[in-house]
Amino acid sequence: MASMYNFDKVIERRGTASVKWDQVETMFGQADILPMWVADMDFEAPPAAIEAMKERAAHGIFGYTYRSPSYLEAVASWQERKHQWSFDQSWIVGCPGVVTALSILVELLTEPGDNVMIQVPVYHPFYRIISSHGRNIVANQLVLTESGRYELDLAEMERQIIEDKVKILILCHPHNPVGRVWTKEELTEIGNLCVKHGVFVLSDEIHGDIVYKGHKHIPFASLSDAIAKQTVACIAPSKTFNIAGLHSSLAIIADPELRERFNFRLQTFAISMENCFAQVAVEACYRQGEQWLEELLAYLQQNIDVMEQFVAYQLPGVKMYRPEGTYLAWFDCREISADPEVLKDLMFNKARVAFNEGSMFGAEGAGFLRVNFGTPRSLLLEGLERFEKALKQK
């Protein structure tokens, strides 16, 4: 079938107050840097979302907006169709972002001094969420095998849960930055451990729709009723459909008391209502965006193939661990240097390209780089070629 969407199209994003493109000089010191860092893509959103927002704008009145029954049905229907997860629509609570939801939930479910587990290296805001509330980080380290795949250390995880009296696990699922899509067997083992020891799970599933052939996203709360009762799933259309700037995400909360407390906190902060443009765009994406997503995933999978070949033959000293999900690749550059400052200099000053330097995801990430490949192939190749040239000059 012929492609309906042109992901090769390069769109000028400078001058749009883009964090990714317009802040490179402020953040990295050079104005001509090619940004391949923060997790937003350089593709147009699905046409259905654009048209829905145009139609909403034409109405001309932009008052307070609630999440309509049709909106909630679209969210639930997407999860059932894509991930075979059925739940009561009353479980859905909207909020501006996944990080916002996680932060509120850590505050509601723990007390200052309590211990919260993360699996490192991991998405860097997790550290800030925990420490800013006066909670302690328990770092459960993922194990990098010789095959280049990160695995769970479940025995160490259980030991830490018991000895450190862990109250919450923040699960990154699929995992950012290492690109793992946890299997049903792995998730079940995590879930059983958490039920056994009374650990509440905050499951960040923002990348759950960006999963490649041979892998399947399993919503954590779908594993069993017991697991669902002590889980909050945080999902969003932002990564899936490249609409992060609309600030729309959802917490799926089975426990009615926690759901009520969470809702009350959102209302306290006056962030409980949906943006009027997000309301229509999100529903349009979930109802009409499936073909767009299928083509996006095929394009991203081709980008992975291109990167894999490029790294293997043109970037000596670099290994790429093929992502199972997300549009973020994890480059092992430890043969070049494990010093974050050396890699920053190589990227920003010599290559004029901005990948994420790995130690921002925890000390375990030192010597690694996270590469956003959610971009037209011409820009992806330009970034890789800039890095290749800098390596040869080094």
7: DSSP letter: T
Sheet (strand 368-372) strand order = 319-321, 328-332, 368-372, 356-357
137 three-state secondary structure: strand
Q: CA angle, 71 as apex, 69 and 72 as ends, to 5°?
A: 65
- The token pair that represents 50 in the structure block: 């654009």
Q: What structural domains does the chain harbor?
A: 19-45+290-393 (3.90.1150.10), 51-287 (3.40.640.10)
C-alpha distances in angstroms, 137 versus 4, 32, 56, 116, 197? 46, 37, 44, 5, 18
Is the model's pTM score more than 0.95? Answer: yes
Per-residue pLDDT reduced to its tens digit, 264-274? 999 999 999 99
What residues pair up with 168 in beta bridges, in sequence order?
116, 200
Question: How far is residue 290 CA from its own chain's centroid?
Answer: 19
Whether residue 164 contacts residue 140, with contact meaning beta carbons closer than 8 Å, is answered with no
Q: Residue 3: its pLDDT value, please?
A: 83
Q: Residue 1: its pLDDT value, please?
A: 60
- For the chain, what is the largest distance between any 2 Cα atoms, rounded to a whole number of angstroms? 60
Q: Residue 63: its pLDDT value, please?
A: 96
Averaged pLDDT in 10-residue chunks for the chain of 394 residues: 89 98 95 97 98 98 96 98 97 97 98 98 98 98 94 98 98 98 98 98 98 98 98 98 97 98 95 95 98 98 98 97 97 98 97 98 98 98 98 88
